[in-house]
Amino acid sequence: MRVGILTGGGDCPGLNPAIRGATLRLIRDGHIPIGILQGWKGLVQGLTVPLSEERVDEIIREGGTILGTSRTNPFKNEQDLQRLLDNYHALGFDALIAIGGEDTLGVGARLYAEHHLPVVGVPKTMDNDLGGTDFTFGFDSAVSVAVEALDRLRDTAKSHARIIVLEVMGRHAGWVALYAGIGGGADWILIPEIPVDLNAMCHYLQQVYHGGKHYGLVVVSEGVELPFAQTDQPIVLDDFGHVVLKERAVGSRVARYIEEITGIETRDAVIGHIQRGGPPTVFDRVLATRLGLKAAELVSMEQFGSMTALHGVEVVAVPLTEAVRNLKLVPYDLYEEARQIFQRLVLQPQRSGAV
């Protein structure tokens, strides 16, 4: 079979190991792997590149994706969809392996269900918010970067007796903020799933600070809704209708609020795309390789319309529709579990007028 492999959506560490795993197993099973450049855009435009054992041999340690990526949604206009279908046949493909998150796999699920294209999905996203799998690759690498940032911020926050707010990615889900906050020992964690209580946070930070610690660390997810007015920047949507969050400056707004309410000097840091680059952690290398291998195996078995997934320590196949049905959000109980650590002091009652 001629099998096209593409990577779509935001890049993350682990994409290259997944491409490598799928390519090596496809070759082993007697198939021809072909790289499709820039996600679904590459199939719309007919952009391909050969994949061989030599080409993928050393990419296990490389961040990003050798195939490039885009946030192209071919279902957004009829012509693009037709060009994609025409190219699929003109390029002689027999199957596709789509490596991506909710948007890329959502397109894959529709191509399979509505146009009968034989698609197998591989889950990736640093946000870890994809359904059907326990973890996605990219997440462990991103969290490791965020924890390192917190370790560094602790040194400077402590030296200057400041509070520092770290803003991390996470559009709909707070997995990165929660894990970074636990792993980096933050004093408060704000995630999109849990309504923020800024006054409780400020009151707690004041107690921590004046109780002898003399500094504080807060982690906030970029997707958190704040109870005061948003910036007046125009709302920009991507191809899939998601709000582009780059102008929201959640971290700096939280920092300003803390400083205003507590009177403690507060700064913020945003690590942004730094979380998405660099070599994958060992966990992500192994997970991505296994998910890629399994995807090629599913192609050989002609088990299309499925996605590879991690269940416990097993790599299994689940229906693509299951993966894209609902986002996997941080459960309330897990946040409360973390709260036992970050909010460990018993709060003294607030004096009236003070936080």
Helices marked H in 116-220: 139-160, 175-183, 198-208
Look at residue 214 and give its three-state secondary structure.
coil
Per DSSP bridges, beta strands 163-168 and 216-221 are: parallel
Closest to ligand F6P by CB, 51 or 269: 269
Q: How far is the CB of 183 from ligand F6P (least distance, A)?
A: 18
Cα 184 to Cα 182: distance, rounded to the nearest angstrom: 6
Token duo for residue 31: 């198939």
> In this structure, what are the phi and psi dihedrals at residue 37, rounded to the nearest 5 degrees?
-80, 145
Starting at the edge strand found earlier in the chain, the sheet holding 119-123 runs 48-50, 32-36, 2-7, 95-100, 119-123, 306-311, 314-319
Q: How far is the CB of 271 from ligand F6P (least distance, A)?
A: 11
Closest to ligand F6P by CB, 261 or 323: 323
Q: How far is the CB of 171 from ligand F6P (least distance, A)?
A: 4
Other Cβ atoms within 10 Å of 234 Cβ, number: 6
Closest to ligand F6P by CB, 29 or 148: 148
Closest to ligand F6P by CB, 39 or 216: 39
Binding residues (CB under 6 A) for ligand F6P: these are 10, 101, 125-127, 169-171, 222, 245
Helix 198-208 and helix 250-262: axis angle, to 10°? Answer: 60
127 is catalytic: yes
Look at residue 49 and give its three-state secondary structure.
strand
Closest to ligand F6P by CB, 136 or 266: 136
From the candidates 127, 129, 268, 284, give the one annotated as an active-site residue: 127
Amino acid at 68: G
Conformation bin of residue 219: beta by default, left when phi > 0, alpha when psi is -120 to 50:
beta
Environment class of 349 (CB within 10 Å of its CB; exposed 0-12, middle 13-18, buried 19+) = exposed
The DSSP H or E segment spanning 167 is strand 163-168
Q: How far is the CB of 161 from ligand F6P (least distance, A)?
A: 32
Q: How far is the CB of 177 from ligand F6P (least distance, A)?
A: 11
Closest to ligand F6P by CB, 20 or 276: 276
Closest to ligand F6P by CB, 95 or 126: 126
Which of 134, 102, 176 lies closest to 287 in space, CA to CA? 134
Beta-ladder partners of 315 = 310
For residue 131, what are the contacts with CB-CB under 8 A and spacing of at least 6?
322, 323, 324, 325, 326, 327, 328
For residue 322, what are the contacts with CB-CB under 8 A and spacing of at least 6?
131, 132, 307
Q: How far is the CB of 89 from ligand F6P (least distance, A)?
A: 31
Token duo for residue 329: 């959000």
Q: How far is the CB of 138 from ligand F6P (least distance, A)?
A: 8
Catalytic residues: 127
